[in-house]
Amino acid sequence: MIDVRQITKSTRDGIPILKGISFTVKKGEFIGILGPSGAGKTLTMRCMNGLTKPTSGEVIFTDNENNLINLTHCKGRELKRARQKIGVIFQGFNLVKRLSAIDNVLIGQLGNMNPLRSIFYGFTDSEAAQALAVLEKMRIGHLAHRQTGSLSGGEMQRVAIARALFQNPVILLADEPIANLDPTNARKIMKLLQPLAQEMPIIGVFHQPDVIMEFCTRIIAIKDGRIVRDGDNKLTHDELVDLYGAELNEIETAQRSTPTPNETHQTPDLVIQRLSA
Amino acid sequence: MRPTKPPTWSYSGYRRKLTLTVWAVLAGIAFCAYWAGVSCKVNWHDLRQGIPKSIEFLGFLFPPDWSAFADMLKPAIETVLLAFLATVFGAVLSLFFGLAAASTISPVWLRSTSRFLLAAERSLPEIIMVILLVSALGLGPFPGVVAMSIGCIGMLGRLFSDAIEEINPATLESIRSVGAGHGQVIFYGVLPQVLPSLIANSIFRFEVNIRLSVLLGAVGAGGIGYQLYYNFQTLQYQRATVAILITLGLVFLSERLSSFLRKRFVPDVKL
């Protein structure tokens, strides 16, 4: 589906950040990318969507009609066409806060639309019905007409996932999709993402080794711009120590405060809903 | 037990320094004001003599000559239309200038050109523009509309480009990431976020333009401002009073209307 071949990326001052990253993503995979801060995880993801051009190397994307698209070299219309097929979920949700949730989901189809129609006419009823169906799949159909800025973090992330799904992507990239969420909401989002991997491969950057081991099928570890591990979803403590060094203590402390799935932890939006009910 | 003194910092010393600074600044301002007053030949004697003269002059203004009201109505409407037209032109054009001047969505050459034009428009007062335009376009409302529209672009364009720059660039990037083009990013990412602020500022600018069009009328742009100027010049003070009262009414109504429209349509934008 997507083939990352020896990509490197340096800053303007010539400092290398990615030093030859290669991996291939196949159907049905849920890949978790792990690594200390500044290792180059997010940059790798950006190269996979063409938002950043690597200094050298290639990213080859195969769409659902088996067309090969070289994301490193394509520009203009070809790049837009490739991006339509690659769904991206961002860490900061990156939604248009003044628009309603359903409008944000509809934005997912902008790439498939004639620009003149999108500007002068907008979306059709049937497109809106489809967007609503995706929101309902994310279990937030009832919030479709709320202004996005008034939603909670967990709800916004669901809208962002709905937008990515509404694109009908061939592959889904998720850059730290649960980093801004509380542990309970984070697990809920992971549970929503997991079954989607059957339909389209998911590549996600995560900071929580326990989450990655539970939900992903393959773990890639990046350190100092290089892949130091690419394999199954079982990580040993020694591997984590090698990967994170001193940073591991902080991660483990954060994990100890993470409640287990059995603990009922009410998120503020749920509490507010119940109070108002 | 007495609290131990901090070795390097004393509260009373800090307090004393602060008080001295405040008094020094106030004394400085007072001195400058005195010096400015002397330079401008402000003196209490003239003011004392001026008060009875002003009261005497007020006598000329009253009672208002209401027969002039019918003659003033058309110029008053002209003033409102002048302000409205200038606001509409200014707001629409400032949209394009604002988009071109925003660093987050515009290429460098376009951004610097439009920023330069916006700054130039702001640095030239409307009254000077009208005086220049009247000599080129002749007396009447047209030079007023042009001058006020240009002033409007200078102010609204700048506010609009600032509002665009406040949008998180990551939001726009995320719209680009679904394959959207530049126009679509503007329509779905930029405009929904900044239109409320543009609307609020344009309504406020309409209020400013009403006041401004009275002033510009006096230098040749027609409307109620011209009536005011003309009646004073021809010593028809009681007719001029009607023009003053109409102006006050217009300014008051436009202020109420602007505040009502802003509260009704864009309640979450604070100016």
pLDDT digits (tens, 9 = 90+) for B154-163: 999 999 999 9
Q: Tokens for B8?
A: 């390097």
Radius of gyration of chain A (CA): 19
Q: Tell me which of A178-182, A252-256, B8-12 is least confident.
A: A252-256
pTM beyond 0.80, yes or no: no
* Average pLDDT, integer, range B145-168: 90
User: Tens digit of pLDDT for each residue in B18-47?
Assistant: 999 999 999 999 999 999 988 888 877 888
- B178 contacts on A by Cβ (under 8 Å): 83-84, 87-88, 107-111, 163, 167
The three-state secondary structure class of A25 is strand
Q: Does B268 touch chain A (CB under 8 A)?
A: no
Q: CB of B103 within 8 Å of any CB in chain A?
A: no
Question: In chain B, which residues have their Cβ closer than 8 Å to the Cβ of A110?
Answer: 175, 178-180, 184, 188
The confidence score (pLDDT) of residue B250 equals 87
How much is the pLDDT for B126? 82
Chain A residues in contact with B171 by the CB 8 A cut-off are: 94-97
Q: What is the mean pLDDT of chain B?
A: 86
A83 contacts in chain B (CB < 8 Å): 176-179
In this predicted structure, what is the pLDDT of residue B7?
Answer: 63
Does the pLDDT at position A274 exceed 70? no
Residue A57 φ/ψ, nearest 5 degrees: 90, 175
Residue A256: its pLDDT value, please?
Answer: 59
Instruction: State residue A267's pLDDT score.
Output: 42
Looking at chain A, the whole-number percentage of residues with pLDDT higher than 70 is: 90
Q: What is the pLDDT of residue B94?
A: 92
More confident residue, A76 or A266: A76
Longest Cα pair distance anywhere in chain B, in angstroms?
85
Per-residue pLDDT tens over the stretch B106-123: 889 999 999 999 998 888
**pLDDT reported for residue B45:** 82
Provide the pLDDT confidence category of residue A254 given band limits of 50, 70 and 90: low
B184: chain A residues, CB-CB within 8 Å: 110, 113, 115, 118-119
A83 and B188 within 8 Å at the Cβ level: the answer is: no
Q: What is the mean pLDDT of residues B77-90?
A: 90
Query: What pLDDT score was predicted for residue A37?
Result: 84
Confidence (pLDDT) at A123: 86
pLDDT at B67: 82
In the predicted model, is pLDDT for residue B174 greater than 80?
Answer: yes
* Shortest Cα–Cα distance, A157 to chain B (Å): 13
Nearest CB partner across the interface for A108, out of B173, B178, B187 = B178
User: What's the mean per-residue pLDDT of chain A?
Assistant: 83
Segment A185-207, tens digit of pLDDT: 888 888 888 888 888 999 999 88
Provide the pairing of β-strand A218-223 with A30-34: parallel
Question: Nearest CB to A88: which of B174, B180, B181?
Answer: B174
ipTM score of complex = 0.80
- pLDDT score at A255: 62
Contact A12, A29 (CB under 8 A): no
Read off the pLDDT of residues A103-119 as tens digits, 9 standing for 90 and up: 999 999 888 888 888 88
Q: Would the CB atoms of A96 and B179 count as touching at under 8 Å?
A: no
pLDDT of residue A275: 42
Mutate which of B172, B174, B187, B268 to test chain A, going by most A C-beta atoms within 10 A?
B174
pLDDT tens readout for residues B238-258: 888 888 888 889 888 888 888
Contact B192 A163 (CB under 8 A): no
Maximal C-alpha separation, chain A? 58
C-beta atoms of A110 and B177 within 8 A: no
Q: Any CB–CB contact under 8 A between B193 and chain A?
A: yes
User: B17 or A73, which is more confident?
Assistant: B17
pLDDT of residue B4: 62
Looking at per-residue pLDDT, the higher value among A58 and A66 belongs to A58
CA–CA gap between residue A216 and residue A161 (Å, rounded)? 17
Cβ-based contacts of B173 with chain A (< 8 Å)? 51, 94
Mean pLDDT of A90-96: 87
Q: Report the pLDDT value the prediction gives residue B109, as an integer from 0 to 100.
A: 92
pLDDT at B2: 61
Compute the nearest-CA separation of A259 from chain B (Å). 31
Residue A176's nearest CA partner among A247, A246, A88 is A88
What percent of chain B stands above pLDDT 90?
A: 27
User: Which two three-digit tokens encode residue B77?
Assistant: 């409407």
CA distance B189 to chain A (A): 6
Query: A31 falls in which pLDDT band (50, 70, 90)?
Result: very high
Give the pLDDT mean for A151-172. Answer: 90
**Other CB atoms within 10 A of residue B92 CB:** 14
Residues 6+ apart with CB under 8 A from A104: A95, A96, A148, A159, A160, A163
Q: How many CB pairs under 8 A join A and B?
A: 76
What pLDDT, on a 0 to 100 scale, did the predictor assign at position B114? Answer: 92
